[in-house]
Each structure stands twice: as C-alpha cells, then as structure tokens.
Structure 1
Amino acid sequence: MSTPFSRRFQLVVEQICQGNKKQFAELTGKSASHIYRICRGASRPSMTYLQELYDEFKVDLNWLLTGEESSGQKAGTASSKDLVFAPMFDVEASAGAGALVQSEDIVEHFGFNKNWLSSHLRVSSDNLAFVTVNGDSMVPTLEDGDMILVDMSQQQVHREGIYLITTEDGLVTKRLKSDKNALQVISDNPDYPSWTIDPQNADQYRVAGKVIWNGRKV
C-alpha cells in the first residue's frame, strides 16, 4: 500500500529519471527491487541513503520526509536552509502502566527544516528525538504505535503539556500540570487515574522532554 512518503519518493524518481525505477536504482547504487519496495510503501530508505540523495541530487529532505515544501523551493529540490536530524530510538514510551527500556540504539534519523520547526512547532532546539508510544492511557491524544517527537531541551514544566517522563519502570508519556510544589500527572484516557509528583517522590522521576509533535498511520 502506498504512503504519503512513498508517493513523494516516486515524484523524486520521476524528476530525476522520468519515472524509470530501474535507472534510478542504478544511478543511486540500490537494487531495483529495493526502489520498487520504497515506491510501494513496503520499505523505508535509510537516512544515509536520503543524505546521499540530498548530496548528489539536491533533494529537499524536509519535503520528502514531512510533505512541507521549503519556502521558495520547488517540491523535491533542495532547500538552502539547514536541517535538524532527529534520531529515532529503539525504545517505547508507555502510555499505559509503564514500559521497560530495553535498548536506546538509534534505528533511524528523520530530517526537519529549522524554519518549519520554528514556524509550525515554535521550536528552536536541535535536541530532538523520536520514540514510539505504547499503550492507550493517552487516547485520544496519543494512540498506541504513534511516533512522538520530543524536545529533550524542555525538562522544566512551565506550562501544561504532554511530556516524556523517566520512571523506575521505564519511560511514560503523560500530561503534566503544575500545581504549587507538585506536578499533576494526567492520563487523557479517563479510565486511567491521575497521580502526583511531589517533593516526597520527586527523586523517582525525571522529565526527559516535552512532546511537540506526533505522527501516525492514516
């Protein structure tokens, strides 16, 4: 099944090789079957390969990855603006009872245009990371399997929002709300009770960052 990414990738193939996937594969050092899988939505290219497309053909990675065209640029062409590359960690952030962190290996990178981050998400930090949501306690805001983008520089709760929290049992995603000398930890799913981080238990928790964006399958 095709995906928005695979359809944009096909546009790149059309622009560079007039849609000839075999020729595109030879030109970019990949097997034809791999290019066909990407165009069908059955596979995703590595960040290394995407970086090669940028270096060799000036493909706009921001547009390719997010669908957002850089200002003044034609879709698929390079942007002169810098990209921020956010690593995707091999961990799950529980939106349930708690998920143990088994690994923190980087499995992929995703590129975002700095101007897009600033104008759409009001973010200027380049300390960003992706993790995957596990569980249903944040439904309907976050669903099981969602990819969430976390600004790891926002570790102080100045206003209500959804944050990534390190606990003794692993990572959790919860809504945090400041309440005097404590933090209310809220699940958007009413089936899950709220709890509190206060001076008595604060050493058991750490705010790892603020969730600023999420992506899911349509």
Structure 2
Amino acid sequence: MDINEIIEKLKDILSSEHPNRKIFDKDVASALGMSKESLSHLKKKNGVPYEQIAKFCAKRKISINWILFEQLPKSLEEETEKYTRIKHFTRINASAGGGSFNYDEDYEYLSIDKKLLDSLYKSNNSNPNAIAALNVMGDSMEPTLLDREVILFDKDNLDVSKGGIFIVSTNAGLFVKRVALKVDGSLELISDNKSYNSDIIVPDELDTIRLLGKVIGKVALV
C-alpha cells in the first residue's frame, strides 16, 4: 500500500470539491486534520494515517476500501450479500440443563454463507431471521452432536410429527434431544448417546415443556 498513491486519490477528491485551484500536499494534510510536516514525515516512512482517512471518507460518504484497495462499493455490496448474520447465544448451552431461554439474552452475530444455509432446506431457501445458534454442552447427543459444537436451529419449525432433533425447554433446563411423537400423543426425548435413558413426556405434562425449534445443522469441531 503506497502512501503516495493514496494521497493522489485524496487530491482528486479535493480537486472535485475545489475545481478552480490546484491541490497540494498541504491541502490534503489540512483535509486530514494534520500538519503538512506530519504528512511529509508519513510519506518518508510510507506510513498510512488510517484513522484520519476513515474520518475523511465518512464525512464525504466515500468507501475507504476504494481509497486503500481500489475496491468499488458495488463489488463490496455483492460480496457482503453472500453472507447472512444469525444470532448466536454464546452464554446459553443446550443439553446439560442450561436454564430457560430468552431471545433477549446477550448474543453475538455469526456470519454464515447464505448458500450454505439454503442447502439445509429441501426448498433450498432459508429464512435467516428464523435461525439461531446455541452451544452444545455435554456428551448426551454423541456421536451426532459433540460437546462445545455450535448448533443451528429453526425457530419456525416446531413440527415433531416426522421426528428430528429439537431444542427443548423444560423445568429442569434447556436440552437438545431427538424427539419422537408416540401414538398416545406423548413425546419421547431421546439421547443419541445410549448411555443415557430416554424421557417420556405424557400428554398431561406437555404444558411443562416448550419446543424452541428444530436443529438444522451444526458448526463442527475439527
């Protein structure tokens, strides 16, 4: 990254703002809020005043990536649109009694390729707003889900008629279990790890649990 090339770009921008006069290094320094001596010193070291350039660009609504890397805003938008952000509740764990779940809890954003999310659905079309992420804790779902893996679940998919793995909120805490609907209307909560017994939730007790969504994928550990 050459400071002289960057200065020439800044001169071009300033020239468009002041078409009737020639722009010098001292004008660039002034626009950056620096002394001409400071800018001269940076030129000798090939140093880049990133913070000052960022403020210069923000004031004029110019992409700093264009100034520094010659990346056009349109290309950045196209690249950014490839990814979508989902809420990752990093402080909430499922399968080891993580407690109740509140969508207002602290969360971070996890950026995932939209095509990857779409591939998790037969329709090949996902709704990122309905997808959230949690951490697995414990070994009750091994080998399917491992301790500390991040799982993705669809909050809009609560249909247990065809089975699947769901996030289940119970009086004992938050769990990730394989759920099977029994003929009598009860639900069986199954651990893939055969060292753990299944739990049966009879129809009269269904109001003591809440399904939060179906697990659709995971971010696996290597």
**What interval of TM-score do these two structures reach, taking the shorter chain for normalisation?**
0.5 to 0.7
Match of 2:211 in 1: 207
Deviation per residue, 1:107-156 (Å, 9 max, x gap):
31012343332234445222111111111111111111111111111122
Aligned to 1:124: 126
CA distance in 2, matches of 1:28, 1:208: 44
Match of 1:192 in 2: 196
Q: Tell me the CA shift for residue 78 of structure 1.
A: 4.0
Matches of 1:203 and 1:157, distance apart in 2: 15
Give how far 1:203 is off: 0.7
State whether residues 125 and 153 of structure 1, in contact with CA within 8 Å, keep that contact through their aligned partners in structure 2: no
Q: Structure 1: which 5+ residue stretches go unaligned?
A: 1-22, 30-54, 59-73
Q: State the shift of 1:208 in Å.
A: 0.4
Partner Cα separation in structure 2 for residue 160 and residue 116 of structure 1 = 23
Q: Residues 148 and 187 of structure 1: is their aligned pair in 2 closer, same or farther, counting only changes over 3 Å?
A: same
SS at match of 2:112: strand
- 3-state secondary structure, aligned to 1:106: coil
SS in 1 for 2:221: coil
1:99 aligns with 2:98: yes
Cα deviation for residue 179 of structure 1 reads: 1.8
Q: Name 1:164's counterpart in structure 2.
A: 167
Structure 2: which 5+ residue stretches go unaligned? 1-45, 53-62, 67-74
The alignment partner of 2:86 has SS state of strand
CA 1:57 to 1:208, structure 2 compared with 1: closer, same or farther past 3 Å? farther
Other-structure match for 2:143: 140
Shift of the 80–196 alpha-carbon distance from structure 1 to 2, 3 Å rule, reads same
Identity %: 30
Instruction: Give CA-to-partner distance per residue, 1:178-213, whole Å, 9 cap, x none.
Output: 222122211001111012222111011111001111
Cα distance in 1 for partners of 2:205, 2:83 equals: 39
Is the Cα contact below 8 Å between 1:156 and 1:207 reproduced in 2?
Answer: no
TM-score in terms of structure 1 length: 0.59
Structure 2 match to 1:70: none
* Residue aligned with 1:201, SS: helix
Distance 1:87 1:80, change over 3 A: closer
Letter in 2 for 1:197: I
Across the aligned residues of Structure 1 and Structure 2, the Cα RMSD in angstroms comes to 3.2
State the shift of 1:28 in Å.
Answer: 8.2
Residues 7-18 of structure 1 mapped to structure 2, 5 A cutoff: none
> Does structure 2 retain, via aligned residues, the 8 Å contact 1:136–1:189?
yes
CA contact (8 A) 2:85 2:109 kept: yes
